[in-house]
Structure 1
Amino acid sequence: MHNVRLDSVDATPRPLLAIGTDYAPGTLLDFHVHRRAQMLYAMTGLMEVETDDGAWVIPPYSGVWIPAGKRHRVRMQSASTRSLYIEPEAAPRRSTHCEVLVITPLLHHLLLASLALPALYEENGRDGALAQLLLHEVGLAHTMPLFAPIPQDCSLAALCKAFLGQPNIQSTPEQWAKQLNKSLRSFTRLFRQQTGMSFSEWRQQACLLTALTKLSAGQSVTQIALDLGYDSASAFSTMFRRRLGQAPSNFIRVP
């Protein structure tokens, strides 16, 4: 199915619905929820996902798992997508929060083939076998560390959201503690309690998310490094390679 509204087929008695959708640059799908779980795959372009729990960036040829009932919004950067909408009882993943998924070559081609699946496919035929294999492969998919959690504490959450809008690796916990009128020790303890990460880990993750968006937009590695406050392009590239296992210049690619 191509460019079909989910609500027009959501009640179809099948565990999986496959829909391909094309989006104009900058399209914002504001906060909403799905009755079904969703595996959203970016064939082209980049997606930015936000929930009440945090923010994710999903580069091309990667996917994001969105649990059933999870409130979320998505900004599409010239994205052409494939979505699998899955009945909660058939969901192959049990995570209660979003996950960025590594899409294997096999899953990539299965998602390409899924465009031909009708809503009311024959469960005992080839289409049913394709649906079952899709569910199996989604369940096996590995995750990528492309997540920056948002605290529940309102004051700290405001600082985190502002930082996500303009991240800088030179920002220090001392500066944040001062803005919150806390001692460094109290701030450090609060930050880990609220995010499950140290401040330095979260700061690096937030910079990585922004770097992926800028890479997708075609910005140079050197300019991205400078914008994020790194001393050099090599320092930024070392961090990127350590976190994602490859150089930034090689990250956006066809599987």
Structure 2
Amino acid sequence: MPILNAIDGFEWIDPDDVPRPIVAFGAQMSDADGFELEPHRHRKGQMLLVQRGALSCEVEGGLWIVPPRSAIWIPGGALHAIRASGALEGYDAFVDSDAAARLPRACCAVAVTPLLRELLARAAHLPYFYEDEGANARLVAVLLDELAIAPVEDLHLPMPSDPRLRKVVDQMMASPADRGSLKIWAHRAGMGERTLERLIHRQTGMSFGRWRQQLGVVLAVKWLAGGASIQQVAGELGYESVPSFVTMFRKALGTSPGRYMAERHSG
């Protein structure tokens, strides 16, 4: 992604090669639809903060959606792929393993406070090899403190590894408006209902119905963040009425989709 703090003579350096606790960048794309990074990994942990647009990140057994005013933490060494949608703005920070000792050991989505956002913005304007003592070092220390206490958000969809179940999941994600029952999906997969139910619970920790509802939640957040209307999202997810979709969304995230996105774009 283009670097916001690029200056004359700026050259890309692999963050893994920079001996500093945090290496941060600003990123901006006017149209990120279709932008994708294939599966890869870094030695350092990675924090991706979204201000506008949305990211979907698949990280070793899970899919995370990152809407505006949220971030995703990817531990060092984790294999991950990233897709973007909408006009994208945000910040990208790489955290050295020694500095990440108090950060989560597993991938997670986190809410972003105004202070954390401003600290990342300041860090994104530091030179690669900023002074490891003094004001810049104190800035980085406070940033690490804020990252460590950022509240975790439930924007995660467990992804199965079993090939039979992954085929079903891929079909459901490709056609989220298909409201077929467990019996119908089991028939399509060539297995019994109980077998499918047991398999998806073993692989994801969720029932079939709970997993499908969570799929609807993460897709809804992604599409809404990309600019789709509530009516469009309800239709894409196969709901017969907007109120039915709003009820599901409110139960899952504690607020209506309209209010959820308004809060994400405020300030």
Q: Which residue of 1 aligns with 2:27?
A: 21
CA distance in structure 2 between the aligned counterparts of 1:9 and 1:37, rounded to whole angstroms = 10
Q: Which residue of 1 aligns with 2:53?
A: 45
Aligned length: 254
Question: Does the 8 A contact of 2:62 with 2:159 survive in 1?
Answer: yes
1:6/1:206 CA distance change after superposition, 3 Å: farther
Offset at residue 95 of structure 1 (A) = 2.5
**CA deviation digits over 1:214-245, x for unaligned, max 9?**
21232221221122122321111121122222
CA distance in structure 2 between the aligned counterparts of 1:205 and 1:115, rounded to whole angstroms = 34
Offset at residue 25 of structure 1 (A) = 1.8
Q: Give the TM-score taking structure 1 as reference length.
A: 0.92
Offset at residue 9 of structure 1 (A) = 4.4
* Correspondence for 1:219 among 228, 236, 244: 228
1:40/1:154 CA distance change after superposition, 3 Å: same
CA distance in structure 1 between the aligned counterparts of 2:248 and 2:65, rounded to whole angstroms = 17
* Correspondence for 1:54 among 56, 62, 73: 62
1:205/1:6 CA distance change after superposition, 3 Å: farther
1:145/1:9 CA distance change after superposition, 3 Å: closer
SS of match in other structure, 1:251: helix
Question: Does the 8 A contact of 1:61 with 1:254 survive in 2?
Answer: no
Q: Structure 1 residue runs of 4+, over 4 Å off?
A: 3-6
Q: Give the TM-score taking structure 2 as reference length.
A: 0.88
SS of match in other structure, 2:63: strand
SS of match in other structure, 1:130: helix
Question: Does the 8 A contact of 2:46 with 2:75 survive in 1?
Answer: yes
* Identity among equivalent pairs (%): 33
**CA deviation digits over 1:85-123, x for unaligned, max 9?**
011222132333x21111012112212222222222223
CA RMSD in angstroms, aligned pairs only: 1.9
User: Counterparts of 1:78-89 in structure 2 under 5 Å?
Assistant: 78-89=87-98
CA distance in structure 2 between the aligned counterparts of 1:208 and 1:30, rounded to whole angstroms = 24
CA distance in structure 2 between the aligned counterparts of 1:76 and 1:130, rounded to whole angstroms = 29
